[in-house]
């Protein structure tokens, strides 16, 4: 059998990280990556189920290629969507051959290698399977490293605990080993992934938490930047902020989803913090790390969200001035507590609330980016621009994308850049002359 695969990924960074690992595993097992679905023997879709819209996208992707079935293409649905619906998804997608939850992704090469036409394989559930170990592809400057799986928080709207299971922390040795291997291959920046990285270690018998892990990662020679996503407001401790403030290798960036500015709605969401507590976390973070970038998520139209609740969110977002904000319209998800609540906010009203926040945030984000003009920033260079070969693209210590012109390859280096302008969320500047002359 010709062994070619095509992977289409939807959703969060965790899905993309899993897709990258699967890609490497398949290649190690003799599979070649196809340029498009038509050329693939196995068509794999990694789906996101956090919102109905995301789920619809993966389903319609798989439907749109079902005519390839007659050529013998193996159809595989992996990730959260597979785990949430399990066998039931076969009713909607009868042409599927493999349904594989996120914990089973490492088994896909074996499943495909032993595939028998007409025999459906469903591998779902079981959260306690090992993490996919140490897969780093070639020449990337940055890598994503999952440190936890699943979540125990059960926010009332969220499908993650059902789609990805309960919290499981990865052993520190395995994380350190993977990062060290990456650094040997040229990696300079790492993004630690988890639904709530601050909960790392809560399921260990020994006393070992996220701060301990960060301190170990900080000791890895050759690693220049450490980022992590997401942090839960309830668990963002002063201990963590202190480590961030004392170590220039840790990105000055916190992604702490607020979700709502109304205490009534936060309670209904089971978010376990209040607006006051959130304000305190942001205030402490900004006091301890003045150049920190704080980004967040907001959900509009949660069941029962009134105009008053929304106005509280709007005013809080205005006051907090996040660097960036991801705004979502509530969508009822199966198995969650909120699923049984009447979806009271009309579609058009959700749209209006979404638009109002988006417009305000766009202005705030632009104003914040303007404050960078004239400043000198340390840019970790990730790649050459695809459109302009003299333009180098990297990120500031806050994780903000930045571009500057240079005529030599600076990939993987930290370069001091004087910011001159910004456009569409990207800072632009030129190499700082003072530091250039110091290099000479």
Binding footprint of ligand SF4 on the chain (CB under 6 A): 151, 153-155, 158, 160-161, 195-196, 232
Long-range contacts, 285-288 (Cβ 8 Å, 24+): 285/236, 285/241, 285/254, 288/238, 288/241, 288/242, 288/244, 288/245
CB of 253 to ligand SF4, least distance (A): 18
Quote the least distance from Cβ 168 to ligand SAH, whole Å. 15
Cβ distance to ligand SF4 smaller for residue 158 or 300: 158
Q: Which does 213 bind (CB under 5 to 8 A by kind): ligand SAH, ligand SF4, none?
A: none
- 195 or 398: CB nearest ligand SF4: 195
Pick 157 or 322: Cβ nearer ligand SAH = 157
Instruction: Find how far residue 307's CA is from the centre of its chain.
Output: 31
Nearer of residues 201 and 403 to ligand SF4, judged by Cβ:
201
Please report, for residues 20, 38, 57, 236, 258, the alpha-carbon distance to residue 163 in angstroms, rounded to integers and kept in the order given: 20, 29, 17, 25, 22
**Tokens describing residue 323:** 């660097």
DSSP 259: B
Residue 124 interface partner, choices ligand SF4, ligand SAH, none, CB cut-off 5-8 Å depending on type? none
DSSP string, 137-178: -TT-SEEEEE-EES-S---TT--HHHHT-S-EEPPHHHHHHH
User: Residue 154's binding partner, choosing from ligand SAH, ligand SF4, none, with beta-carbon cut-off 5 to 8 A by kind?
Assistant: ligand SF4
Selection from ligand SAH, ligand SF4, none that 142 binds (CB < 5 to 8 A by kind) is none
Interface residues toward ligand SAH, by CB under 6 A? 50-51, 157-158, 195-196, 230, 232, 257, 259, 297, 299, 328, 330-331, 333
Cβ(135)–Cβ(105) below 8 Å: no
Q: Give the list of residues 6+ apart from residue 363 with CB closer than 8 angstroms, or none.
A: none
CB of 332 to ligand SF4, least distance (A): 14
146: partner contacted, choices ligand SF4, ligand SAH, none (Cβ within 5-8 A by kind): none
Contact of residue 161 among ligand SF4, ligand SAH, none (CB under 5-8 Å per partner type): ligand SF4
Minimum CB–partner distance for residue 148 and ligand SF4 (Å): 10
Q: Which is nearer to ligand SF4, 156 or 396 (CB)?
A: 156
Give yes or no for a contact between 412 and 394, defined as CB atoms under 8 angstroms apart: no
From residue 231, how far is each of 56, 102, 197, 391 by CA, in Å? 28, 21, 6, 33
Residue 105 or 158: the one with the smaller Cβ distance to ligand SF4 is 158
Quick one: what does residue 333 bind among ligand SAH, ligand SF4, none, with the CB cut-off 5 to 8 Å set by partner type? ligand SAH
Residue 301 vs 429, nearer CB to ligand SF4:
301
Closest among 179, 142, 178 to 383, alpha carbons compared: 142
Least separation in angstroms between residue 198's CB and ligand SAH is 10
CB of 260 to ligand SF4, least distance (A): 12
Contact predicate 120/90, CB 8 Å: yes
261 binds, among ligand SF4, ligand SAH, none (CB under 5 to 8 A by kind): none
| DSSP β-bridge partners for residue 384 | 392
CB within 8 A of 254, min separation 6: which ones? 231, 236, 285, 292, 293, 294, 295
**At closest approach, how far in Å is the CB of 306 from ligand SAH?**
18
Task: In whole angstroms, give the CA distance from residue 117 to residue 200.
Answer: 42
| Cβ atoms of 218 and 182 closer than 8 Å | no
Shortest reach from residue 56's CB to ligand SF4, in Å: 20
At 89, list the tokens. 């998804």
Residue 158 or 224: the one with the smaller Cβ distance to ligand SAH is 158
């Amino acid at each position: 059998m010709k062994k070619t695969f095509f992977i289409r990924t939807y959703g969060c960074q965790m899905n993309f990280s899993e897709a990258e690992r699967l890609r490497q595993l398949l290649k190690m097992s003799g599979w070649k990556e196809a340029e498009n679905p038509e050329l693939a023997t196995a068509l794999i879709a990694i789906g996101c189920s956090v919102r109905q819209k995301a789920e619809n996208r993966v389903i319609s992707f798989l439907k749109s290629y079902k005519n390839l079935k007659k050529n013998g293409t193996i159809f595989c649905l992996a990730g959260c969507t597979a785990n949430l619906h399990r066998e039931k998804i076969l009713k909607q997608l009868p042409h599927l051959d493999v349904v594989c939850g996120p914990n089973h992704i490492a088994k896909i090469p074996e499943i495909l290698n032993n595939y028998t036409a007409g025999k459906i394989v469903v591998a779902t559930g079981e959260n306690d399977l090992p993490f996919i170990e140490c897969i780093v592809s070639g020449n990337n400057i940055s890598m994503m490293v999952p440190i936890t799986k699943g979540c125990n928080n059960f926010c009332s709207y969220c499908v993650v605990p059902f789609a990805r299971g309960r919290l499981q922390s990865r052993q520190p040795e395995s994380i350190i080993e993977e990062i060290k291997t990456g650094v040997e291959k040229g990696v300079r920046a790492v993004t630690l992934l988890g639904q709530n990285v601050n909960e790392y270690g809560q399921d260990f018998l020994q006393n070992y938490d996220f701060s301990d892990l960060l301190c170990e990662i900080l000791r890895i020679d050759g690693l220049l930047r450490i980022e992590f996503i997401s942090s839960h407001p309830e668990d963002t401790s002063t201990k963590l902020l202190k480590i961030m403030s004392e170590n220039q290798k840790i990105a000055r960036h916190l992604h702490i989803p607020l979700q709502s500015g109304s205490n009534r709605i936060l309670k209904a969401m089971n978010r376990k913090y209040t607006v006051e507590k959130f304000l305190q976390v942001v205030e402490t973070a900004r006091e301890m790390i003045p150049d920190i970038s704080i980004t967040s998520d907001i959900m509009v139209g949660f069941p029962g969200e009134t105009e008053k609740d929304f106005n509280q969110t709007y005013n809080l977002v205005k006051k907090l001035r996040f660097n960036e904000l991801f705004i979502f319209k509530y969508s009822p998800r199966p198995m969650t507590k909120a699923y049984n609540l009447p979806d009271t906010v009309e579609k058009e009203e959700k749209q209006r609330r979404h638009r109002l926040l988006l417009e305000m945030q766009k202005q705030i984000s632009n104003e914040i980016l303007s404050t960078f003009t004239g400043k000198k920033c340390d840019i970790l260079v990730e790649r050459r621009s695809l459109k302009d070969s003299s333009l180098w693209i990297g990120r500031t210590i806050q994780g903000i994308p930045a571009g500057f012109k240079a005529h030599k390859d600076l990939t993987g280096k930290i370069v001091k850049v004087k910011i001159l302008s910004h456009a569409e969320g990207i800072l632009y500047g030129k190499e700082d002359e003072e530091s250039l002359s110091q290099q000479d």
